[in-house]
Every structure is written in structure tokens, then in C-alpha cells.
């Protein structure tokens, strides 16, 4: 009988320890595959006994992917979950799932700026914290899980954080809990929403504090457009199916208002819209559910500068022609309705574009190439509300959208361009 070598024995032990580690990891309905314990193993990852908040720093979140972090709770308690964008920026989104794969809470921007933060009461057990980039973008994120007495990683929002005694200061969590069949939700319409959709849609108004969830039923499959409007409240909306599965979410589609377009018809059944307010949950927000109109939706994207118009004369575009070294013009811009301009570049160029307030303005610019691909975007520049784009351009035709950040602004914007010849080999 041959005696196993030391190397073989070590390798077998390593494999067995790895198998044990996998066996101890929560599956979270399959989401846990590829995840890691926040402190290396289950025992050390118990938030209830941790001396300080547990963290994973500089985690690379791939495009169209996520990072999954495990933690455990030895007893019921309130936990703070946070994901902060790294030095290169980004917009992290966090989602918390229990060991069975049920979503417990999700959040995008409650950490302040674009950081994510949620504070919620959890039962003892194992959990999977999923962090991804908003719109499946790539980023680096710092992830932290701790108790309320631990120092926070993010700045957070004013109000809306966990209040063990309840009260009128907003919801008792940051982020939003999934709308389950047992969740209390206000019916959007009496009976199925189909009759209202045939007349253009249904809408209702209330504060997020008063009505954080709205429920509606579809009798027939159809595409929908959901909108939440009141910039002062800064609403964020989530669409759940009848089981509590998150279908879609949106924040700041149109200025600080939110919108979800479901272009593929939803199946007949019951749905729920969850809502929160990033600024003030005690301000009224109007929620509307309308039939999705592909042609109207495409036109609205052009109106707000989110998509480039066709250059066939069907959309008003101011033609600037071949761009001289310097141009200056004043534009009267009505709210978020974009003014469109086109210009040509004859030689490799560095172009500086400034949009500066003259009266009652908060300028925003979006630059597209001739094929309609967005190549530059800017809202606030140089510590001001003015907008600036500095970009290298090759010869060709370009389209520029100039609009206000909000419909509250209806004034004049001074648009200037300065063209510099680029050095070439």
C-alpha cells in the first residue's frame, strides 16, 4: 500500500475544507453561487456578535454582473446595509435576500449622492447581500454591514432612517421592502385597471408616508407606462409582480420624477407599485399607470434629449453648419423640453461647449454623433449649475441637446462653443 504524499494530503484537506465552506454558504435561491462570507467564514460573519461593522472594500462589480456577500445573524435585530462607490465613481444598488431567496429590501441612493443604504429589522439567519451597478454598469464598491450603533459608511439622507418606535418622520426603513401578497397596499382602481387604461390610464395622488404601496390587477396582457411625479419629493418607484418579485425600478427618468416603461406586455395578474421619496416622503406624489405607446415614448425621449431625433426634417433642429472657431448664441429653453442643434466638424478638433445661465436656468447638455450614439453628457460643472463639455471630435456631423434640469426653469441659456485644432501624426 502506497502512503499518500504530504502534498496529496494537504490538497485533499484543502478540498474538504472548501467543500465544507460551500456547504455552509446560503444558497439564497441560487443567488449565493460565487459569493463570499463578509468576514471569511460564517462564525466570524455574525453581525450580532461583531465588535464593529464588517466590510469588504474595493469590490470590483462587473458590467452586467454583481458581487454577493454573505452574513449571518445570531438573533433578531436591526441591521444597516451600505454600498459606497469607489474613487472612480459609480452608482451601486443593493439587494438583500434571505436564505430561501426571498428579497427582503432593496435600495439605490439612500446613502446620499449615489450610494446605497438600507436599515431594516431582520430575523436570525443567513443572508445574501447583492451589490450591482445601476443599469448594470461597472464600478468598484465598498460594502459594509453593521448594527445601528456602528459608525455608518455613507452620509445618508435627511429623515427616513430606521425608527424603532415608528412615528411620523417617514418609513421605518431606508430602501423598500418587497410588496408581497400580504403587504398592505392601496388599490389603484376599483376592479381591474383595464377599463381605465382603455380611457388613457389611471392615476392617484398621496404622500409616500400615507401610501407607500399601490396595487392593481390586469385582466388582459398589455404594456404599461408607470410614472411618479413631484420633483420636490423626488420619488423612486419599484414594480413587483404578485409574488413580490421585483420586475423594474426607476429614479430620475425625467428630472427628479420617475418612470417605468414595460414594453413587453405584462401577463394578466396582480401587480404592486412600491414607492419612496428621496427628499420628502410627506409631499404628495401622483402615480399614473398608462398604456405603453411605443411611438409616443420614442417622441418623449427626443423631447427630453434622451435620444437623438432623425435628421429627415420631421423634428425641429437648428442647423449651425460648419462650426467656426467661436460661436455664441442665446437660447430660450422651456423646462425639460430640449432645444436641438446640429453642427459639423471639418478636421480633428478639441471642442469646448458651455451652457451658462442668463436668466432662470439650470442648463444640461447631451451630445450625440450622427448615428444617434450619446458621446457626452453634463449637468453641473466647475462647482456651478452651469453645464460644460470638453471633448475630442473627429470630422463629422454632431447633434446637441440643450435643456433645463427641471421644468421649474423656463429662462435663457447662453450657449458658446470654442473649437481648437487637434494635433495629428
What is the tens place of the pLDDT at every residue in 199-208? 999 999 999 9
Average pLDDT, the chain: 86
Q: Is 332 helix (H, G, I), strand (E, B) or coil?
A: strand
Categorize the per-residue pLDDT at 157 as very low, low, confident or very high, splitting at 50, 70 and 90: low
Query: For position 13, what pLDDT does the model report?
Result: 36
Distance (Å, whole) CA 160 – CA 68: 26
User: Hey, do 186-292 and 308-421 end up sharing a CATH topology, with the first three levels equal?
Assistant: yes
> Given this model, what pLDDT does residue 199 score?
93
Arithmetic mean of pLDDT, 164-177 = 49
DSSP secondary structure, 245-256, as one string: -EEEEEE-SBTT
Q: What pTM was computed for the model?
A: 0.55
Fold of 24-147: Jelly Rolls (2.60.120)
Which three-class secondary structure state does DSSP give residue 87?
coil
The domain locations on the chain are 24-147, 186-292, 308-421
Q: Are 247 and 241 contacting, i.e. CB atoms less than 8 angstroms apart?
A: yes
**CB under 8 Å, gap of 24 or more: what pairs does 34-38 form?**
34/68, 35/68, 35/69, 35/70, 35/128, 36/68, 36/69, 36/70, 37/69, 37/70, 37/71, 38/69, 38/70, 38/71, 38/129, 38/143, 38/145
Count Cβ atoms below 10 Å from residue 27 Cβ, excluding itself: 15
Class of domain 186-292 (CATH, top level) = mainly beta
Per-residue pLDDT band at 175 (split at 50, 70, 90): low
- State the architecture of 308-421 in CATH terms: Sandwich (2.60)
Amino acid at each position: 500500500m502506497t502512503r499518500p504524499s504530504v502534498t496529496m494530503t494537504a490538497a485533499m484537506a484543502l478540498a474538504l475544507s472548501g467543500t465544507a465552506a460551500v456547504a455552509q454558504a446560503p444558497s439564497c435561491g441560487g443567488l449565493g453561487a460565487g459569493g463570499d462570507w463578509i468576514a471569511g467564514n460564517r462564525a466570524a460573519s455574525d453581525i450580532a456578535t461583531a465588535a464593529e461593522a464588517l466590510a469588504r472594500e474595493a469590490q470590483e462589480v462587473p458590467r452586467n454582473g454583481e458581487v454577493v456577500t454573505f452574513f449571518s445573524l445570531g438573533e433578531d435585530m436591526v441591521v444597516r446595509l451600505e454600498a459606497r462607490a469607489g474613487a472612480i465613481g459609480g452608482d451601486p444598488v443593493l439587494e438583500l435576500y434571505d436564505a430561501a431567496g426571498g428579497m427582503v429590501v432593496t435600495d439605490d441612493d439612500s446613502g446620499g449622492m449615489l450610494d446605497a443604504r438600507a436599515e431594516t429589522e431582520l430575523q436570525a439567519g443567513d443572508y445574501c447581500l447583492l451589490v450591482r451597478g445601476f443599469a448594470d454598469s461597472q464600478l468598484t464598491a465598498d460594502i459594509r454591514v453593521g448594527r445601528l450603533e456602528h459608525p455608518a459608511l455613507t452620509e445618508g439622507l435627511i429623515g427616513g432612517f430606521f425608527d424603532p418606535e415608528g412615528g411620523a418622520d417617514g418609513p421605518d426603513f431606508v430602501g423598500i421592502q418587497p410588496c408581497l401578497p400580504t403587504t398592505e397596499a392601496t388599490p389603484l382602481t376599483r376592479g381591474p385597471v383595464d377599463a381605465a387604461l382603455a380611457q388613457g390610464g389611471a392615476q392617484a395622488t398621496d404622500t409616500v408616508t400615507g401610501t407607500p404601496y399601490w396595487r392593481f390587477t390586469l385582466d388582459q396582457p398589455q404594456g404599461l407606462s408607470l410614472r411618479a411625479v413631484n420633483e420636490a419629493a423626488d420619488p423612486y418607484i419599484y414594480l413587483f409582480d404578485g409574488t413580490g418579485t421585483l420586475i423594474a425600478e426607476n429614479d430620475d427618468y425625467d428630472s427628479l420624477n420617475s418612470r417605468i416603461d414595460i414594453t413587453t406586455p405584462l401577463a394578466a395578474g396582480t401587480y404592486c407599485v412600491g414607492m419612496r421619496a428621496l427628499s420628502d416622503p410627506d409631499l404628495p406624489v401622483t402615480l399614473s399607470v398608462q398604456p405603453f405607446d411605443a411611438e409616443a415614448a420614442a417622441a418623449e425621449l427626443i423631447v427630453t434629449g434622451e435620444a437623438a431625433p432623425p435628421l429627415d426634417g420631421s423634428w425641429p433642429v437648428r442647423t449651425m453648419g460648419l462650426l467656426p472657431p467661436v460661436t455664441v448664441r442665446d437660447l430660450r429653453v422651456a423646462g425639460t423640453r430640449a432645444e436641438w442643434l446640429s453642427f459639423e466638424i471639418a478636421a480633428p478638433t478639441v471642442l469646448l461647449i458651455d451652457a451658462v445661465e442668463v436668466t432662470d436656468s439650470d442648463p444640461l447638455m447631451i451630445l450625440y454623433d450622427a448615428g444617434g450614439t450619446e458621446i457626452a453628457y453634463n449637468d453641473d460643472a466647475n462647482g456651478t449649475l452651469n453645464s460644460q463639455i470638453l471633448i475630442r471630435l473627429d470630422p463629422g456631423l454632431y447633434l446637441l441637446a440643450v435643456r433645463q434640469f427641471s421644468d421649474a426653469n423656463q429662462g435663457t441659456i447662453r450657449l458658446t462653443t470654442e473649437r481648437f485644432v487637434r494635433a495629428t501624426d
